[in-house]
Structure 1
Amino acid sequence: MARDGQNLVLRIGPSYFKNRCAWNTVDKKSSSEQEVPEGKVVVLSFRYLDLESDRLCRYDFVDVYSGHANGQRIGRFCGTVKPGALVSSSNKMLVQMTSDANTAGSGFIAKFSAAEPHERGDQYCGGRLEKPSGSFHTPNWPERDYPAGVTCSWHIVAPKNQLIELKFEKFDVERDNYCRYDYVAVFNGGEINDAKRIGKYCGDSPPEPILSEKNELLVQFLSDLSLTADGFIGHYKFRPKKLPTTTALPTTTTVPATSTVKPTVALCQQKCKRSGTLESNYCSSNFVITGTVITTVTRAGSLHATISIINVYKEGNLAIQQAGKNMSAKILVMCKQCPLIRRGLNYIIMGQVEEDGRGKIYPNSFVMSFKTKNSKILNALKNKTCQN
């Protein structure tokens, strides 16, 4: 990667390191290896960065890996624009610098420290996603704009025989004709590699749905130190590599559509009235959570909602996504008006779960507004033993 230059490889721990990179020697290597304690993650912050500037960072650059050189590459950096805080997925991080024998800058100064995996604050984001379906979003979503100077990488890994389908529900990233400042880049595989880049996106129009070539996708988000915007929320799910044509064709005919619509219409004509109590509905529900409705989308008479979770009292088979310290879940309300839930409000939600891990709410499911005073009875129910 370097042209007649040298590599500096550092395994970082809870201290500072400095590197002055105006070198003239060839093939000189220096390394320092440390780790943060097991159970912690590494947080790296560049305090100063001055390397030879190149749009593709081909000559002098710093690579940051989660774990080691064969692990996920979090990013490659050059020039003078510092990236945001970078977070490893384990207790190890590798920083590797490469420089050629020509133009040089004055180097970089970075600080690294140990942090709790789920107590890293709004500035941190990214991670490894392995559940069959899930969501991820920019820091601060949806309450306020994403912060300046942030770098996030989500590594989505499916089983070997499956592919990954990726869709962005909401999307608002600083607009630029060439997406030079703030952007989302999606790559086939588990590393940032321009040869495997599917696309680079910015502006306020969501990208078209993306299907991976194999069982891994890497989604990178980067914001510079100037303008910011609302950000985005993306959803993914695993799917088989090949769908047999004998099973795929009937979904395009009208017969199955008719057979599925009629029961739904009849279902939604029922009187919408909550029955029973928290106690009487607890055991019959597969999951019980409290949370805030952050997104709602109506499709074919049903309501698809994203819930920012306040507390989990009964998880069941519900797929819960985690981004930093924030947890969320997807809920399908079969009849959009029953029970009626609205964005920005807090609810107690009890329901069943689909095969993909999404919560399903019927008109007779128990949903009610959440008040702080409800916590006492919910905590008592959490310790209740339900008879199968």
Structure 2
Amino acid sequence: MNIISCIVVLVAVLPVWGEFTIEQLKSERFAYTVEARDSGLDLSKARYQIGDMVFDRNPFKRRTRAATARKERIWPDGVIPYEISRAMRHWENHTCISFVPRQPHHQNYIVFTIDKCGCCSYVGRRGDGPQAISIGKNCDKFGIVVHELGHVIGFWHEHTRLDRDDHVDIFYKSIQQSQDYNFDKLKADEVDSLGEPYDYASIMHYARDTFSRAMYLDTILPKVIVNGRRPEIGQRVQLSAGDISQTRKLYKCPVCGETLVKEYGELRLGGGVECQWRIIAAMGEILVLNVSTLGLPRPMGECASERDNFVIVRDGYYTGSPILAKVCGDVGSRTIFSTGNRLFVQTRTTSKLSTPFANYIAVCGGHIVGDEGTIQSPRFPENYAPDANCNWVIKVPKKFQVALTFQYFNLEAHKDCVYDRVEIYDGAVADPNNLISKLCGQVNAESVVSKSNVVLVRFVSDSSVQKSGFHIDFVRELDECASNAHGCEQRCVNQIGGFRCECDIGFSLRPDGKTCQSTCGGIIKATNGTFFSPNFPLNYPPSKNCVWQVHADEGYQIIVNFTHFNVEGMKTECAYDYVLIEDEEGGEERYCGDYTQPLVYTSTSNRIKVHFVSDNSVEKSGFAAYFITDLDECRKDKGGCQQLCVNTIGSYRCECESGYVLADDGHNCKEGGCHLQLHDPDGEITSPNFPFDYPKGKTCNWHFVTTPGHRLLLAFEEFALEEHNMCKYDHVEVFDGGDAQAPSLGVFCGNGVPPDISSSSNQLFLTMVTDASVARRGFKAFYSSVCGGELKAEETVGFIYSHARYSDDKYDKKMRCEWRILADAGRGVELRFAQFDLEKEASCDFDFVEVFDGHDRSDEHKMGHFCGDQLPPVFVSTGRKMMLVLNTDDSEERKGFVAEYRSAPPATARPVMKPTPRPSREPVVNND
């Protein structure tokens, strides 16, 4: 178990004191030294460090989450510029803090980096330029980043405030040597707790075993015991109520208003107080704000004086942003558009009423004119919305091109990108003849350059799988190679932000970087052959640049065997002399160092370029290379392999993708391995190697996805993992969603069979982690789909299917399903049926669907009772709740239904439910 800086794993183990008393443990201390160092962006050079906090001065003249007492450490207007964005919205959601992209006028800003300290940062604003916040290995967890940002904002660790001895005990004997200074209490001139009580739940609090000498020893414990238990400390899940309250006090946040990050929302007056709202959309989106001041009293003075009864809308993130509109009471309605993805709204009114005065919606896409900028998928970095269709037209000045760089890209994958995709067109319209690129799946740091000064970026998603989306930066780009001013003698290659000169095969670039000279290399067209470094076997000369181009017949690969290889370098750092092999399909390998065994390279195409580069310093004996060509059996129909084909010299072999293993026929694949995507409504899973011992040192996951509108039920039949009372070693964890960031439903280990586990949506995620020591038999479990559940109605359409195998099979007998749909406050639920086919019967007593206005299943709230194959009407609830019920008997089954639901304005009246006509041929007896 790695312990990173001040971030530790919570271990709820009773302390084992052994021969020491509590008083001895509290009084025992270890000596330590702190080396004075300079600081800056390099956190490791800070003069002092305490846990994950670094300082330019003596830390024993400072304080902790107790907020900072130095006013110069408060960020002006609560605005913190940054250069590398991570998860910051949690702080913004609950406080008036704003994290914004750094602009040239920002002199002080934070820079995310990876430093030797792991997870660490300065406390508050340094005030002398950029300051680093290190998110090192294993630090990129949500709660850890929130904690480190707490230091940046100005908070210290909770346990170091002045009154901590009234609330916690520190056990110095249990603390690692030279780490006890992390537990020192702070000085009065540095600490200001702003009147807030001690907060055990603070995200800035140490855990009970932080810096512990052994996992069974506690270093800090709460004094208070409630119902026989001490409060939990050291959580890294979310901000506590105390964290939020203290931040609002520290930055003087208005008591009214909030940060809004949803795609739409409503703003309400504060009842006689000043309010501020910060509205944030995804990068590349704009905000449309509809303001109505009819409910505001008239101002007592001029509207421009901003004394009272006004609404100010600013195009940005704080009080210094440009004003888009200033609206005073009782003047009507206005619609206001942002130019970017943020709006700042201020109000002040004499009215004591808390009434709505504005609503907003984030609009995906738009026209962007500028030299540079960013666009993001809706909700980024959260999963994008289903059924999105966004179009950005990006225009840069004439005579320039548009260069797009994909900083992050993760969409639903498909070989033809038919589901979710990004399309890039040259020009402002989606002309297939001008399509530059169509992308889906995962893309790493790819760049696309247009021919003209306008591009259309189109994002389309379907209604099924959603991923985390994309972050694309754009800049204006000048094609220096299009003119004759570049000065390249032979070839000019345009690059984003510049260009480079290249030479033809057999020539190398002179030191001036533009002219070429005859040199080693050449074009080789043969089934086999050799080539050598200059002067081989003697040392090669300095400052050489040789290129060999090897051509084989179509459908063949090239295998290069370096029988001798000795080139300056350390193998992993080929910065001086090196051999670079480029494949025609885009792959490349770079080699340097001394290889005592033959070095073999295999191409993926029938053409390669071999570059040899030497600098002007150290020379070695170089290389001797022999190459042959081999028919690539995998190029045609993958050699008959179902998934992956790997070419070998004279033959080939089949392999399988992650989560699958090769079948006995050597060509097909079957489920297995350690990472599975399961889309069947039901099935069986087992741990690797079950019923034999699972492998050690593995992390496996199973992602279950069933039909929308259904939940998943997971039932373990057998279970045997390594035991530990906190499941620290081998364990299984189940998450209520599509990945390990979803809420946890339980962590399990040992020999006890876990209880049945049910998801709240149509996705479930299971992980199994094993360490390098003990292995057990593992587990066997069954999963199945369960109809009904709790659904959230949003602006985008959601789907409900009558049964999990809809379109593949008819619905089951004796189904009893209830879908409870809930919209946001002030909104209603709209329900419409896209497909409908149930058993037909005059009174609809056998198989039927019922719709209720609310979650009360009574005749008073019933909006409809249906069967047969006619589509029911569209329903809109009068409140925020609606319920859909499906009931089937034990006789005839049909295709079922597909229903669509979304958030909508509520209906003003409930439709009158007419009694379903019954046949007159026999009496109806009601036995309820």
TM interval, shorter chain, is 0.3 to 0.5
Flag the structure with larger Rg.
2
Whose RCO is larger (CA < 8 A, sep 6+)?
1
TM-score calculated relative to the size of structure 1 = 0.37
TM-score calculated relative to the size of structure 2 = 0.17
